[in-house]
Structure 1
């Protein structure tokens, strides 16, 4: 019986391969902005789940449709995020928060990144085409808004870039719902409004936290152009606009309305405290953390209260 001898060069080769695989996975995670991708996939799932609930359809019977919807929409969103990295490489180079992206480090060629973004987007739209035309339209609106209107046109020119970019996030529950049923129901429309409005204070909190980065990159964020104090006041106004929205969602149950309302009140109270805060950076950090968890709680609670076990 022959015995294979493992040499030190073999061990080094295996270690190098392992390191390369780990590095590639880390690069792809940064390229696709994995946390952002997950945050956008949750409302798609919620939209589909709620459409199942209100139409009294079977999730098991529509599981193939669900897979096409969640994978297809995630690919479209992922493609848009990759193209954002491809286009923004020049400003990412001067911002500390983005210097580790593979487009900046040179670990991935820009031509490769471009084609990854385009191929992923097309593949995702192709999968959604097996659901409904309405779902494809919403996905296209989100993609076009984020890639063209936000990334390529408004981000560097106008403070309204935040409003424009918010459209791309707002379509996510509409995609999920429309894959099963026309999204003319009050629930997906209000949930889309929640995301649209929420993205303004959420993005403003990021812009305040990373003020120096955005100023160095000359990105037209509100606190850079009009100052932090005005940004704080606008955050209060946008969060106040969230207050009445749960009242349109009583069809999700009293528990949901109460939880969402309490979240809105707490969110608004924290925003108001910023008007009197002497440590703006610390306050902005809190606002960011609350805003991230706010949206996840809203959609997770919407899913929970409509499950047979809890509903």
Structure 2
């Protein structure tokens, strides 16, 4: 009896120590819950869509509320993704210290924040932009939270399907100005959709052991690096002509055309180098970095080209 009591007391003491060692959440934890880096990069494409649709600087009030509503949607998706993936995050080295996974933020609080941000996004876009913008915000949100996030557990196609949510922000910007799904909106959607697989599959290669440990069937885990690079090349090859089509069906000029061609050509060269590289992880890191440069410079080219 005494040994049992001593054992139970030691277990209780250990549990208390574990609870006490959980650091209280800070404002930074709540900020990181919304993945601000992803939010900002998506807002860049939203602004680009607005600028292109307006053929220059859009109405200031419309721009502010469209970006704000889009930010709410994106932050909501990130928060609910963190909520849904909290158990998976505990299994992976790069995510186990996230605020929900580590216990600093209670899942119930994260769920409430995610829902509140979703409602705020719907209201802001529907009232201050137009209902079509709110619909596209909801489409992107649904594909990210309710389709892409659960599919991460069951199929390597999650990256492609998740591309639909990542392609929604520039469309939100476009329809906020035009209130219609013109060809320009669909071309922006296509460009962003094709850009994402090489970008995120490069990241999946870099973090392949984390995904393997988490039991997540990302393409590099289930098919290996060669098949991953092969599929990345096909998307990159399709991205080049898709980006050039924007020149023929919108207000962008020769500056954009030349920039898109050079950026796409460099992208293809880098993707081809992947088949000969001796260091797959170094190559994936290089490609991932370039994909960010590609998107940023392409958006800049759209903005500048409209002005010229």
Global fold match (TM > 0.5): yes
CA distance in 2, matches of 1:50, 1:112: 38
SS of 2:26 mapped into structure 1? helix
Q: What residue in structure 1 maps to residue 118 of structure 2? A: 121
CA distance in 2, matches of 1:73, 1:243: 27
Residue pairs, 1:24-103, within 5 angstroms:
24-53=26-55, 59=58, 62-103=59-100
1:64-117 CA-to-partner distances (Å, cap 9, x unmatched) read 221111101110110011000000001111111112211122111110000000
Residue pairs, 1:96-111, within 5 angstroms:
96-111=93-108
1:213-246 CA-to-partner distances (Å, cap 9, x unmatched) read 0000011111111111100111111100011123
Question: In angstroms, what is the RMSD of aligned CA positions?
Answer: 1.6
Please tell me whether residue 187 in structure 1 is matched to residue 189 in structure 2: no
Q: What residue in structure 2 maps to residue 303 of structure 1? A: 303
| Displacement of 1:26 | 2.1
CA distance in 1, matches of 2:136, 2:234: 27
| Displacement of 1:273 | 0.4
Q: What residue in structure 2 maps to residue 281 of structure 1? A: 281
TM normalised by structure 2 equals 0.88
Residues 175, 185 of structure 2: 8 Å contact kept: no
CA distance in 2, matches of 1:96, 1:103: 14
Residues 75, 123 of structure 1: 8 Å contact kept: yes
Q: Gaps spanning 5+ residues in structure 1: where?
A: 1-19
Q: Gaps spanning 5+ residues in structure 2: where?
A: 1-22
Residues 263, 294 of structure 2: 8 Å contact kept: yes
Aligned structure 1 segments of 4 or more residues deviating by more than 4 angstroms:
none
1:102-150 CA-to-partner distances (Å, cap 9, x unmatched) read 1122111110000000001111111011111111111110000000011
SS of 2:306 mapped into structure 1? coil
TM normalised by structure 1 equals 0.87
Q: What residue in structure 2 maps to residue 3 of structure 1? A: none
Moved more, 180-189 or 30-39: 180-189
CA distance in 1, matches of 2:206, 2:180: 36
SS of 1:97 mapped into structure 2? coil
1:175-212 CA-to-partner distances (Å, cap 9, x unmatched) read 01111213433322212111101110111101100000
| Displacement of 1:248 | 1.5
From 141, 148, 159, the counterpart of 2:139: 141
